[in-house]
Structures are given as structure tokens and as C-alpha cells.
Amino acid sequence: MAAADARGPSEAAVGINQLEGYLLWQAETDRARDSAREFSARLSWLTTAQRAEVERAYTQDRLEQSKAYLLRIAGRCRELQREYQERYDALRRRLAVAFVLGSCLMVVLAVLLSALLTAR
């Protein structure tokens, strides 16, 4: 399992994410249709054909707005992921440098202590 994690998400995880995305989009589509029906219900003077056209246009507009919103969120998520990865990498490099310097300091101190003890 650790080897699969190192390569990236497994096919099952990708499939589950796609299924979840599909279900979430279907729920958004249902909400858009419901909102369109509620909106057109307030326009009592519309004919049946006009009501259907208003609902179709309203639903399409709402879904376009939702898609644009989700794309903005996804873009921001990618930006944040990149930013946090850069910070993590910098922190990791600093920690590695601190460890190497600390190890070198310990070796130097051990050599000096050994030299002082053998000089007595």
C-alpha cells in the first residue's frame, strides 16, 4: 500500500473521486432545477412553453455560474497546494541542514573532548 501511495492515488481512489464529483454535480443540477421551478412559479402569467423556457434558461445560467465558481475554487486549491508544498520543501531543507550542522558540531565536540581527555 505504501508503494501505491508513493506513486499517487490508486485507480480505486480516482474512481471514487470521479463518482463523488458526478454525484455532487447531479445534486447541484437538481438544486438548480428546483430553484428554476420556484422562480417560474412566481411568474403566474407565463404559458407552459414560456415557463419551460424560463426554467431551462435559469437552470443553464445557474449551472454555468456553479461551474465557474467550482473552477475558481479548484484553481485556488491548486495554488494553495503549490504554495504549501514549497513551504514544506523549504522547511524540510532547513531541517536537513540543521541536522547536518548539528551532527558536525557533535562530531567536532566529541573530537575535542577526546583530545582533551587524552592530553591529561
Residue 3 lies in a domain: no
SS3 10: coil
Residue 22 lies in a domain: yes
Q: Residues 14-23: pLDDT tens digits?
A: 999 999 999 9
Q: Is 71 exposed, middle or buried (0-12, 13-18, 19+ CB in 10 A)?
A: exposed
Residue 113 lies in a domain: yes
Residue 50 lies in a domain: yes
Q: How many domains does the chain have?
A: 1
Torsion of CA 108, 114, 118, 120, to 10 degrees: 90
Q: Residues 42-92: pLDDT tens digits?
A: 999 999 999 999 999 999 999 999 999 999 999 999 999 999 999 999 999
Which residues fall within 8 angstroms of residue 39, CB to CB, at 6 or more apart? 54, 55, 58
User: What is the domain extent for residue 66?
Assistant: 8-119
Terminal Cα-to-Cα distance of the chain (whole angstroms): 57
Mean pLDDT of all residues in 4-12: 71
| Confidence (pTM) | 0.66
